[in-house]
Amino acid sequence: MSEQTLAEFLEQATCFLDTAADRAPAATSRPWGEGPDGTELLAEWSSEEEARLVTEARRFKALEYDAGFGWIDGPAVYGGRGLPRSYHEAYTRLRQQFAVPDLAVMRLGLSMTAPTILAHGTEQVKSAYLPRLHRGDLIACQLFSEPDAGSDLASLRASAVPDGDGWVLRGQKVWTTNAHLSDIGEVLCRTDPRAPKHRGITAFLIDMHAPGVEVRPLRQMTGGASFNEVFLTDVRVPDDHRLGEVNEGWQVAITTLMNERSTTADIGGSLDVILDRLVMLARWSGRLSDPAVRDLVSDTAMHILAARAGSQRAHEAVATGQPGPEQSVGKLLWTQNLQRVSRVVSELLGPRLVADTGEWGTYAWAKFVLAVPGIRISAGTDEIMRNILAERVLGLPREKPSTRDQERT
């Protein structure tokens, strides 16, 4: 494809979006008491709503990809357009001006699994899956955590045993977002139980519809069920679907996790909307003139603005190559800000947070507060993020392993 200036590219992109979607209404602050009052962090869809959203997302991604905007900065050899990262970012900003379908169901696959396939997959896997992921033909999930291997991911026990020209996988995974909607999954398995726990792991790409793959939904305390547990019973995987070298899966996992933290930190932009709702709640409660409440709200606003600046810095780091420690900082700031919002809401609402009085914009915050602990765990707990920053960025001494860890290694 011939070289294009950014202005020419955006003109072409605008023409496409004008034919594929309506213009989004101008962003305005919704008046208190109008419209739905849900304030949620986790998806809460019925099966019918979910099916409709997936269909709409797939349809739009196919149109977008076929028009040349599905993988703007991806290598042309694997179906990308081969343009600079700045073109992708400019298109993303432009697309926000249009009422396109909710593409959240694609986010984890495109921001985590696809970059990992690109970095560690075989040529066959790259060619087979990267175009289809970016076109929306496939949805992907991440199969890392286990009942006894969450924050201590390297303690995983799911196994992969060589068998002919492939592998047989057995074990259980948990907290897998969108597993029930996914076509493929990136999975970590132990391939050498005698090796130190970080060194005996191998990564694979599996067919989520293959015999032996069973997905069971997990009900969240918010009431939804976007997470799942996945059971692998004698699941056969060809060796060319291995990601990276045998027993070198930890490096593959790092690629995925750093991109996951980038994605999680990037969601922080939604805190601007939440902050707006929070200020309206403080006004409605009649306590915005209370110095203590004003201090809580202004402190929360300050930290959200600081996190936004950190997110921009993280984007610049991604544009130069492998995501760095900025992603861990962003993820930690995101969850800390969620906790700040929860504290202010709890202070303002008191019992109305847990008892539905029927007042608009009050009990609706309950799902937000209940979801925060789960967000603090996903993509690495706050404690893990602090350890990463302390040991790998600041160069502080490593945390002493527990007795349990010593026994496992």
Residue 192 φ then ψ, to 5° = -140, 95
Q: Specify the pLDDT at position 76.
A: 96
Query: pLDDT (tens digit, 0 to 9) for every residue of the chain, 409 residues total?
Result: 457 899 999 999 999 999 999 998 876 667 888 888 887 777 778 889 999 999 999 999 999 999 999 999 999 999 999 999 899 989 999 999 999 999 989 999 999 999 999 999 999 999 999 999 999 999 999 999 999 887 778 889 999 999 999 999 999 999 898 999 999 999 999 999 999 988 999 999 999 999 999 999 988 777 777 789 999 999 999 999 999 999 999 999 988 887 765 555 444 446 777 888 898 999 999 998 899 999 999 999 999 888 877 666 666 555 555 555 666 777 788 888 999 999 999 999 999 999 999 999 999 899 899 988 887 877 667 787 788 788 877 888 987 765 444 444 4
Q: What are phi and psi of 3, to 5 degrees?
A: -65, 140
Q: What are phi and psi of 167, to 5 degrees?
A: -140, 155
Reduce the DSSP state of residue 397 to 3 states and report it.
coil
Tokens 């007795």 -> residue: 403
Alpha-carbon distance of 338 to 340, in angstroms, equals 5
Give me the pLDDT at residue 373, please: 86
- The DSSP output letter for 389 is I
Q: Which of 146, 186, 229, 260 is catalytic?
A: 260
Closest CA to 53 of 104, 98, 112, 114: 104
Answer yes or no: are the C-beta atoms of 271 and 304 closer than 8 Å: yes
Q: What is the pLDDT of residue 402?
A: 57
Q: How far from chain centre, in Å, is Cα 179?
A: 13
How far apart are the C-alpha atoms of 169 and 190, rounded to whole Å?
9
pLDDT for residue 6: 95
Smallest CA-to-CA distance from 193 within 162, 163, 156, 150 is with: 156
- Name the token pair of 385: 């993020």
Note if 399 is an active site residue. Answer: no
Buried b (16+ CB within 10 A) or exposed e, 332-367: bbbbebbbbbbebbebbbeebbeeeeeeebbbbbbb
Q: Residue 320's pLDDT is what?
A: 53
Side chain identity at residue 351, one-letter code: P
Structure confidence at residue 153 (pLDDT): 83
211-231 in b/e burial notation, b at 16+ Cβ within 10 A? eebebeeeebebebbbbbbbb
Is 182:108 a contact under the CB 8 Å cutoff?
no
